[in-house]
Amino acid sequence: MPRPFLPTPPTPSASRRSEAKAATREKILAAARDLFLKEGFEAISMRRIAHAIRYTPAAIYGHFKDKTELLITLGDQDFEFFRSKFHAIQAITDPVDRLRAAGHAYIDFALEHPRHYQLMFMTKWPIIDPAQSSLEHGNADEDSYAFLDSVVIDCIKAGRFSAKYRDHRMVTQACWGVVHGVVALYITHGDDPWCEFTRPRDTALLLLDASIDGMLPPPLAPRPAPTRRRKAARKP
Amino acid sequence: MPRPFLPTPPTPSASRRSEAKAATREKILAAARDLFLKEGFEAISMRRIAHAIRYTPAAIYGHFKDKTELLITLGDQDFEFFRSKFHAIQAITDPVDRLRAAGHAYIDFALEHPRHYQLMFMTKWPIIDPAQSSLEHGNADEDSYAFLDSVVIDCIKAGRFSAKYRDHRMVTQACWGVVHGVVALYITHGDDPWCEFTRPRDTALLLLDASIDGMLPPPLAPRPAPTRRRKAARKP
């Protein structure tokens, strides 16, 4: 018997379908991140990722044409998220203050998202041509490395670093190294009883300060007292 | 027919046997290092190590009673080798010079032995009780971490660091971080076209200098000129 008052089931709207599709992509990417982290890029196939989330391999291929496309999407997503952490500090006028703030933001990202961090910065990636990324290589608004480089260039142009620290490529890589060091060691050795790692954020910030201060010219020192001419040592 | 002048075959002497045994151990450890690096500690079994060098699993168990013993031996061997790189600098009298030299030695070790380095410092190890190691935990002559800590303590005791840098635990971990950062990034990202890594040794040494200089007290600054008392701003 027909039940005239039963509402007809809603047909999924286009927006609902696209939401569901996005949710599936996220699920695939999250599973891929976990597996890549655990076993490395090489060891993990599309089939393994599908299996982890109980999908058929065909269902995954509907979202990513191959493992490389999946990997590029994962990288772009994570690096875009990472780049967004620096939006708030772009307005800082003093370039050295901006550099310090960028260091803070980097350290916080690493400690708040250690799994993302590990895959992004502590794992050897297959070589990917930057042209394949959806982020524009070299554009400081999208490319975090270019952003850091631009802050370093601003410090150098403003004459804020001593003479030794004026090769922006080297200084940019040094600045990256300084924020990477402590957090990376903490991620791998944080629970190693051999070296009781404590307060990684404080330690990383302390080191950031030391390194930036060490690149600034020393405050004007008093003129050294005139030295007396030393007598030539007499030969015995 | 007997051939009386044929020399009797030499019976392997005890020293030869022990040499052969040591060579086998080395072969097992080298294969284990490669496999652990490639696939992680968890994924690799004694059977897999045996298979990689075409031994029977039983032959390996003649050298190491289990994977944990093999892992501890590998770690002890690598960390003893690493510690030996600091012997030459122990005699440096000035503690800050000793700290710089330790940094140099660390950077050189990482760049000359990147595979050892990666397994030692860029891989999460299973938790091992330091008491199981053949190296004495906390003894600066055997434990490289304790050695670095002792150099930092010497710098602090000699009053060489400014007030902010007098917590030896934090400063030791910061100093470790400063030498780790650039070399670790170079090992993972050295061939990444996104960030053209060049001259990692120069960059790491530049950063080491900046960080150590940043921990030293600034040279005596001239007394600031007396400031004039500012007039109170008049309210409009």
Mean pLDDT throughout A16-41?
90
pLDDT recorded at residue B225 = 56
CB-CB contact of B217 with B162 (8 Å) = yes
Q: Which CATH number fits domain B75-215: 1.10.357.10, 3.40.50.2300, 1.10.260.40, 1.20.1420.20?
A: 1.10.357.10
Q: Which CATH number fits domain B16-65: 3.90.245.10, 1.10.10.60, 1.10.1060.10, 3.40.50.620?
A: 1.10.10.60
The candidate with the shortest Cα–Cα distance to B84, out of B135, B44, B142, B41, is: B142
Taking the C-alpha atoms of residue B82 and residue A2, their distance in angstroms, rounded to an integer, is: 82
Q: pTM of the predicted model, to two decimals?
A: 0.86
Kindly list the domain boundaries of chain B, sorted by start residue.
Answer: 16-65, 75-215
Does the beta-carbon distance from A214 to B219 stay under 8 Å?
no
CA distance A37 to A227: 62
Q: What is the nearest CA distance from B54 to chain A, expressed in angstroms?
A: 22
| pLDDT at B17 (0 to 100) | 85
The DSSP element (H or E) to which A208 belongs, if any, is helix A200-215
**Which amino acid is present at B144?**
S
Tell me if B206 and A137 make a contact (CB, 8 A cut-off).
Answer: no
Place of tokens 């030869």: B16
pLDDT at B3 over 60: no
Confidence tier at A83 by pLDDT (50, 70, 90): very high
Confidence of residue B224 (pLDDT cuts 50, 70, 90): low
Question: What's residue B117's pLDDT?
Answer: 97
> What's the confidence (pLDDT) of residue A3?
46
pLDDT band at A231 (very low <50, low <70, confident <90, very high): very low
CA distance A47 to A93: 50
Q: How many CB pairs under 8 A join A and B?
A: 188
The string of pLDDT tens digits covering residues A169-218 is 999 999 999 999 999 999 999 999 999 888 999 999 999 999 999 999 98
For B15-74, the pLDDT digits (tens) are: 888 888 899 999 999 999 999 988 888 889 999 999 999 999 999 999 999 999 999 999
Mean pLDDT value across chain A: 89
> Could you give the 3-state DSSP secondary structure of residue A162?
coil
What is the mean pLDDT of the segment spanning A21-25? 91
Which of B39, B178, B195 is facing A181, going by the closest CB pair? B178
Best probe of the A interface among B173, B183, B197, B201, by most A CBs < 10 A, is B173
pLDDT per residue over B155-214, tens digit each? 999 999 999 999 999 999 999 999 999 999 999 999 999 998 889 999 999 999 999 999
Which of A145, A176, A197 is closest, CB to CB, to B173?
A: A197
| pLDDT for the residue numbered B227 | 55
Q: What is the CATH number of domain A17-65?
A: 1.10.10.60
Mean pLDDT, chain B, rounded, equals: 89
pLDDT for residue B218 = 83
The pLDDT assigned to B10 comes to 55
Partner residue opposite B188 with nearest CB, options A124, A171, A200: A124
B145 → chain A, closest CA residue: A195
Contact between A99 and A175 under an 8 Å Cβ cutoff? The reply is yes
CB-based contact A211 B209, cutoff 8 Å: no
Q: How far is CA B167 from CA A48, B7, B57, B140, B162, in A?
A: 47, 70, 49, 18, 11
Burial profile A96-130: b = 16 or more Cβ within 10 angstroms, e = fewer:
bebbbbbbbbbbebbbebbebbbbbbbebbeeeee
Q: Any residues with CB less than 8 A from the CB of B166 and at least 6 apart, and which?
A: B156
Contact flag B191-A125 (C-beta cutoff 8 Å): no
Chain A positions in Cβ-Cβ contact with residue B210 (cut-off 8 Å): 165, 174, 210-212, 214-215
Nearest CA distance, A125 vs chain B (angstrom): 8
Contact yes or no for B182 and A182 at CB 8 A? no
